[in-house]
């Protein structure tokens, strides 16, 4: 976590306009998720240009990047206002570890929720409807999330596939037709092989969705829909596992979204047939 909340609280070297913006943000952060620069400017008696300049002064490329980081840090702050870091160490008891892991995972889901835009799910749903097959692209632990998501999508009558070897993933991207939808899971968004695949999909006119902790990455710039999820760098804060939790959360929402579009009677018949013929 950076010092963004502290900077906004201290308002050091802020102009009168910047003080008004910072004060409003801290007091009304729960309203910020769906607020445009125009709306925020109106509420702070400024304008869109002032909001963008304020975001850039704090080191961000623009308002959108600032908003994502601000909401993520604000959720951590309200749960741990004294700056308590949820890092684990050899000094922790079993009880302490249970409490810390629980707090980290709850914080992760809350942070990710505040980073998500419902409109992105509508865009993703439209891509799902148009596609006949979902092709997953991922590496290492992210493959586990891809497999879980793929199984869920199949249950929701959306065929999908996951290949562990990168050679197979390359071949999949090379041979997929335009009625396929790519689905990349990459925490950094800069994995060289996944970037190659993203470029190939783009070149061949195949849409793809990305789940990442780096919405400004090169892969993200190529994606049709980007879902940002919470992550931390330190292994003592569960590191990459935090990203896995957020990624699964996003795919669970997508699975639920697809399931609600199924015919209930047809789904019930399928489940009855499986219960009759399979033991699982």
* Domains identified in the chain, total number: 2
The boundaries of the domain holding residue 66 are 4-79
Looking at the fold, whether 16 and 67 belong to one and the same domain comes out as yes
Phi and psi at residue 137, to the nearest 5°: -130, 120
- pLDDT 10s digits, 171-201: 999 999 999 999 999 998 999 999 999 999 9
Percent of the chain at pLDDT > 70 equals 86
Q: Residue 143 has what pLDDT?
A: 96
Looking at the fold, whether 71 and 125 belong to one and the same domain comes out as no
d(CA 58, CA 12): 12
**pLDDT of 83 above 50:** no
Looking at the fold, whether 55 and 150 belong to one and the same domain comes out as no
Decide if 131 is inside a domain.
Answer: yes
Looking at the fold, whether 141 and 245 belong to one and the same domain comes out as yes
Residue 48: partners with Cβ closer than 8 Å, 6 or more residues away: 36, 37, 38, 41
Q: Residue 264 has what pLDDT?
A: 64
Question: What is the pTM (predicted TM-score) of this model?
Answer: 0.68
Decide if 102 is inside a domain.
Answer: no
Decide if 257 is inside a domain.
Answer: yes
Q: Which long-range contacts (CB under 8 A, 24 or more apart) does 195-201 make?
A: 195/219, 196/170, 197/137, 197/169, 197/170, 197/173, 198/222, 198/223, 200/170, 200/173, 200/174, 201/173, 201/176
The one-character DSSP state at 185 is: E
Q: Residue 15 has what pLDDT?
A: 93
**pLDDT of 223 above 90:** yes
Looking at the fold, whether 75 and 143 belong to one and the same domain comes out as no
Mean pLDDT, rounded, of the chain: 86
**pLDDT of 92 above 90:** no
Looking at the fold, whether 69 and 126 belong to one and the same domain comes out as no
Q: Which two tokens stand for residue 268?
A: 């019930």
Q: Residue 268 has what pLDDT?
A: 67
**Average pLDDT rounded to a whole number, residues 5-15:** 89
Largest pairwise CA distance in the chain? 71
**pLDDT of 18 above 50:** yes
Looking at the fold, whether 167 and 73 belong to one and the same domain comes out as no
**pLDDT of 109 above 80:** yes
Looking at the fold, whether 155 and 258 belong to one and the same domain comes out as yes
Looking at the fold, whether 226 and 157 belong to one and the same domain comes out as yes
Looking at the fold, whether 255 and 179 belong to one and the same domain comes out as yes
Of 218 and 99, the one with more pLDDT: 218
Looking at the fold, whether 155 and 60 belong to one and the same domain comes out as no
- pLDDT 10s digits, 144-168: 999 999 999 998 889 999 999 999 9
**pLDDT of 3 above 80:** no
Which of left, alpha, beta for 57 (phi over 0: left; psi -120 to 50: alpha)? alpha
């Amino acid at each position: 976590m950076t010092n963004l909340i502290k900077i906004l609280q201290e308002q050091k070297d802020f102009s009168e306009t910047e003080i008004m913006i910072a004060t409003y943000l801290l007091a009304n952060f729960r309203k910020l998720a769906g607020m445009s620069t125009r709306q925020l400017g109106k509420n702070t008696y400024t304008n869109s240009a002032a909001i963008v300049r304020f975001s850039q002064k704090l080191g961000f490329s623009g308002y959108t990047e600032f908003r994502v980081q601000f909401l993520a840090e604000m959720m951590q702050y309200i749960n741990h206002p004294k700056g308590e870091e949820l890092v684990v160490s050899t000094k922790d008891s079993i009880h302490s570890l249970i409490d810390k892991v629980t707090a980290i995972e709850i914080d992760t889901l809350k942070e990710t929720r505040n980073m998500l835009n419902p409109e992105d799910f509508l865009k993703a749903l439209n891509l799902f409807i148009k596609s006949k097959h979902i092709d997953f692209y991922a590496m290492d632990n992210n493959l586990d999330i891809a497999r879980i998501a793929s199984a869920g999508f199949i249950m929701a009558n959306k065929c999908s596939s996951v290949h562990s070897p990168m050679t197979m993933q390359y071949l999949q991207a090379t041979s997929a037709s335009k009625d396929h939808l790519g689905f990349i899971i990459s925490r950094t968004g800069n994995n060289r092989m996944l970037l190659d695949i993203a470029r190939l999909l783009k070149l061949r006119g195949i849409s793809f969705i990305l789940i990442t902790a780096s919405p400004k990455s090169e892969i993200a710039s190529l994606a049709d829909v980007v879902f940002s999820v919470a992550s931390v760098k330190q292994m003592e804060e569960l590191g990459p596992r935090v990203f896995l939790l957020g990624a699964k959360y996003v795919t669970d929402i997508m699975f639920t979204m697809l399931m609600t579009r199924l015919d209930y009677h047809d789904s019930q018949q399928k489940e009855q047939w499986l219960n009759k013929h399979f033991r699982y």
